[in-house]
Amino acid sequence: MNEDRYIVFDHYLQDELSVEDKVKFENQLAEDPELASAFEIFKELNLHLENKFGNADEFNAFKENSKSISNDHFKASKPKTKVIGFKPWIYLVAASVVVLLGLFLFNPKPNFEDFNQHENAYFTERGAVDEKLKQAEDAFNAKNYKAAISFFKAVLKEKDTPEIHYFYGISLLETNEIQEAEVVFNELKAGTSIYKNKAIWNLALAKLKQKDYKSCKEILLTISSDYEDYEQVQELLKELD
């Protein structure tokens, strides 16, 4: 094998190989763990870059530039003496990975944990004490979200309010029950309660947690500027750019 395999990685992902070359490459992946590992790294970085660059032209320009840099790096670093078992294309991929990782080191993406600060729940202050609701409140405020979910489910059978749904949705999101959380937040989004914009914000956080940065940004842009935590929306948008 030679250094041109780096280009083959890209051509395969872009579906630019002939049927014969595609089958040959897939057989090589199945037979060569090192090649398969290098290809997975390259594929993962491509996915991150696609999320980083919303514009296809910018993405392609960056790839061409990284190829040029990695080729120069390979030529400058290639050992003069022959090393048994050395595979040049692996070195080239490694050099390319260094170039691509540099983008993320200097332009880190935001994390869900940086933006998932929620207000505490205070249900019982506005009425008679409901034992199940008090248990849900205590569990939520203690960040024991799994227990809170069970209590919320019991409460919702008797008392169905946007407020309870909102904190129930947060509990689902925190325990990675993301699809269920999105159902709850989408219902609140479709309503007219004071939790409408809060629900949209949490839909964006759900996408952030899944590292779907493009969808996260699209959702954030739909939040009204009169949202009480709009500064947080702007901060996340800035970090996504």
DSSP string, 173-208: HHTT-HHHHHHHHHHHHHS-STTHHHHHHHHHHHHH
More confident residue, 60 or 206: 206
Residues 233, 220 contacting (CB under 8 angstroms): yes
Cα atoms found within 13 Å of the Cα of residue 28, Cβ hemisphere only: 16
More confident residue, 82 or 11: 11
* Degrees to nearest 5, angle at CA 46 with 40 and 52: 145
Cβ-based neighbours of 88, under 8 Å, separated by 6 or more:
1, 2, 3, 74, 78
| Predicted pLDDT at 52 | 57
| Predicted pLDDT at 87 | 44
| Predicted pLDDT at 66 | 53
Specify the DSSP class assigned to residue 114: G
What proportion of the chain, given as a percentage, has pLDDT over 90?
Answer: 45
What is the CATH architecture of 112-240? Alpha Horseshoe (1.25)
Residue type for position 216: C
Neighbouring CB atoms inside 10 A of 185's CB total: 27
- pLDDT band at 41; cut points 50, 70, 90: confident
* pLDDT one-digit tens code per residue, 208-236: 999 899 999 999 999 999 999 999 999 99
Query: Which structure tokens are listed for 132?
Result: 């199940």
What is the rounded average pLDDT of the residues 65-89? 46
User: Is pLDDT at 139 greater than 60 in this prediction?
Assistant: yes
What is the rounded average pLDDT of the residues 112-138? 83
Specify the DSSP class assigned to residue 108: P
| Predicted pLDDT at 147 | 96
Task: Compute, in degrees rounded to 10, the torsion defined by CA atoms 43, 202, 170, 49.
Answer: 10
Specify the DSSP class assigned to residue 223: S
User: Is pLDDT at 94 greater than 70 in this prediction?
Assistant: no
Quote the radius of gyration of the chain (alpha carbons, Å): 25
pTM attached to this predicted model? 0.59
Residue bearing tokens 């809060």: 198
Neighbouring CB atoms inside 10 A of 16's CB total: 12
Specify the DSSP class assigned to residue 135: H
| Predicted pLDDT at 17 | 85
User: Is pLDDT at 69 greater than 50 in this prediction?
Assistant: no
What is the rounded average pLDDT of the residues 193-209? 96
* pLDDT one-digit tens code per residue, 2-24: 456 667 887 888 888 888 888 98
Domain chopping of the chain, boundaries: 5-106, 112-240
| Predicted pLDDT at 32 | 84
More confident residue, 25 or 165: 165
